[in-house]
């Protein structure tokens, strides 16, 4: 059958491929077939054999084109909000003190359980749209605000529904080991047993792409985290970890031992944890929104991660307690200003490395064989994406070679 191709021409491309800065191609073009990039390069070098099959040409007006953005760590499905806790922290209460007093994640669990399916879906949809307007084409959504079999299933199903009803690729992560629900007070080992029992049931329903846990002094121990990861391994599910956010629990090394896709936060990660991540190919997901919102002062060791060759992704960590922001572009700016990433590292962090943090190898770059997910920007150079804040320069979003209209 004769292929039907679309040519997207007259653009400057930040392909993020190869060894040149940004994978830069001036006066570039992209050729798509179906949902896939067939060819990417300088427009003057378009292979002549493709020309007879081009059925549609799109002139991009000399704009910047990058891969579609990927937010690889969000908690998008939940009820309520926690502005009152924000006020308490400004008055001197610590995040840990609020959590131990019954606030924090538990308060969101109560609000989530009380919300209807329609309320949870509508609020999550509005949050997703905010991210989509800034060029997000792939989004990870974690559970962890239900903390019972029925409620975790409900939250994961709503996340799946978002991916079916919006022009958005959604990947779901089971985070049952997020916090201890009130009905298991004082019985954390029993709760971890339950989390592991629920996992195959949720997986059998097609609700789980990966498994996460919160390994921290206010959450779950390394031994309990290992138990969750063993259950995931038995099901063939990849793992990731909320690791070393508030203290060094050795979680990064533990997760790396399971070949974790990512370890996220990492403000307190040790040299041993970094070495283990480098050896396993585990991505470091940096979450500057949480660092900023919690007024943290302990920076993640970016220079050490960079020196060890650990790939660094950036994500919004959208959640109601520690990172209520809904701008991935703002996270680029924060990653540069707070964590001292370069603008190119930051952009790679929401494309190439964010894809890797989700175990996805078909997106994050502009190259033949990749998904045709890309963004058209009203800026002259990709470093501007990390420079501006409070402005959205996203002009068009193409997902699976189809223009997305919101």
What's the pLDDT band for 170 if we cut at 50, 70, 90? very high
pLDDT on residue 98: 79
The percent helix, strand, coil of the chain (3-state, each to 5) is: 40, 25, 35
Q: What values do phi and psi take at 350, rounded to 5?
A: -110, 15
Q: Give residue-wise pLDDT tens across range 56-83.
A: 999 999 999 999 999 999 999 999 999 9
Tokens representing residue 224 in the block: 């309990």
Least confident interval from 84-88, 182-186, 273-277, 401-405: 84-88
Question: Percent of the chain at pLDDT above 90?
Answer: 93
Q: What values do phi and psi take at 230, rounded to 5?
A: -65, -40
C-alpha 247 chain-centroid distance: 22
Q: Give residue-wise pLDDT tens across range 264-288.
A: 999 999 999 999 999 999 999 999 9
Q: Where are the alpha helices (DSSP H) in 141-270?
A: 149-165, 188-204, 222-235, 251-257
Between the alpha carbon of residue 73 and those of residues 183, 206, 314, the distances in Å are: 27, 20, 8
10 Å CB burial of residue 356 (0-12, 13-18, 19+) is buried
Q: What values do phi and psi take at 199, rounded to 5?
A: -55, -50
Tokens representing residue 382 in the block: 């990709």
Using alpha carbons only, what angle is made at residue 132 by residues 394 and 389, rounded to the nearest 5 degrees? 50
pLDDT on residue 406: 86
Residue 109 parent element (H or E): helix 105-114
Computed from CA positions of residues 281, 204, 76, 64, in that sequence, does the dihedral angle turn out positive or negative? positive
User: Side by side, which strands form the sheet with 374-377?
Assistant: 36-42, 24-33, 5-14, 54-67, 374-377, 394-399, 402-403
Mean pLDDT of 198-220: 97
Q: Give residue-wise pLDDT tens across range 317-374.
A: 999 999 999 999 999 999 999 999 999 999 999 999 999 999 999 999 999 999 999 9
Q: Could you give the domains of the chain?
A: 5-67+365-403 (2.30.40.10), 69-357 (3.20.20.140)
Pairing of strands 402-403, 36-42: unpaired
Q: How many contiguous H segments (helices) and E segments (strands) does the chain have?
A: 15, 15
What's the pLDDT band for 2 if we cut at 50, 70, 90? low
Residues 377 and 65 sit within 8 Å (Cβ to Cβ)? yes
Q: Which residues pair with 375 in a beta bridge?
A: 66, 397
Residues 331 and 289 sit within 8 Å (Cβ to Cβ)? yes
d(CA 202, CA 243): 24
């Amino acid at each position: 059958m004769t292929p039907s191709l679309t040519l997207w021409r007259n653009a400057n491309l930040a392909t993020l491929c190869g060894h040149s800065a940004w994978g830069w191609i001036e006066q570039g073009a992209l050729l798509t077939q179906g949902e896939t990039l067939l060819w990417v390069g300088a427009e003057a070098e378009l292979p002549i054999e493709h020309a007879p099959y081009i059925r549609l040409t799109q002139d991009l007006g000399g704009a910047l084109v990058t891969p579609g953005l990927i937010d690889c760590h969000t908690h998008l499905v939940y009820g309520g909000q926690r502005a009152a806790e924000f006020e308490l922290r400004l008055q001197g209460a610590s995040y840990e003190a609020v959590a131990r007093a019954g606030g924090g994640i538990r308060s969101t669990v109560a609000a989530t359980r009380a919300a209807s399916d329609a309320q949870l879906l509508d609020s999550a949809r509005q949050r997703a749209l905010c991210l989509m307007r800034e060029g997000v084409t792939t989004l990870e959504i974690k559970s962890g605000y239900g903390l019972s079999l029925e409620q975790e299933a409900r939250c994961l199903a709503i996340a799946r529904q978002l991916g079916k009803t919006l022009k958005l690729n959604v990947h779901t992560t089971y985070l049952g080991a997020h916090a201890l629900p009130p009905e298991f007070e004082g019985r954390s080992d029993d709760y971890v047993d339950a989390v592991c029992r629920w996992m195959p049931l949720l997986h059998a329903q097609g609700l789980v792409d990966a498994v996460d846990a919160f390994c921290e002094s206010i959450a779950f121990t390394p031994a309990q985290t290992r138990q969750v990861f063993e259950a995931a391994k038995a099901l063939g599910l990849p793992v990731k970890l909320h690791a070393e956010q508030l203290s060094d629990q050795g979680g990064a090394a533990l997760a790396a031992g399971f070949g974790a896709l990512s370890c996220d936060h990492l403000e307190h990660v040790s040299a041993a944890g970094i070495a283990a991540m480098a050896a396993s190919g585990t991505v470091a997901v940096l979450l500057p929104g949480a660092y900023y919102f919690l007024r943290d002062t302990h920076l993640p060791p970016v220079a050490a991660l960079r020196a060890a060759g650990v790939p660094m992704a950036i994500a919004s960590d959208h959640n109601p307690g520690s990172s209520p922001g809904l701008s991935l572009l703002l996270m680029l700016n924060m990653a540069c200003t707070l964590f001292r990433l370069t603008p190119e590292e930051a952009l790679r962090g929401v494309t190439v490395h964010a894809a890797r943090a989700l175990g996805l190898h078909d997106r994050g770059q502009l190259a033949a064989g990749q998904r045709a997910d890309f963004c058209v920007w009203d800026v002259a150079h990709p470093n501007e994406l990390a420079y501006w804040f409070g402005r959205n320069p996203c002009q068009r979003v193409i997902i699976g070679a189809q223009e997305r209209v919101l």
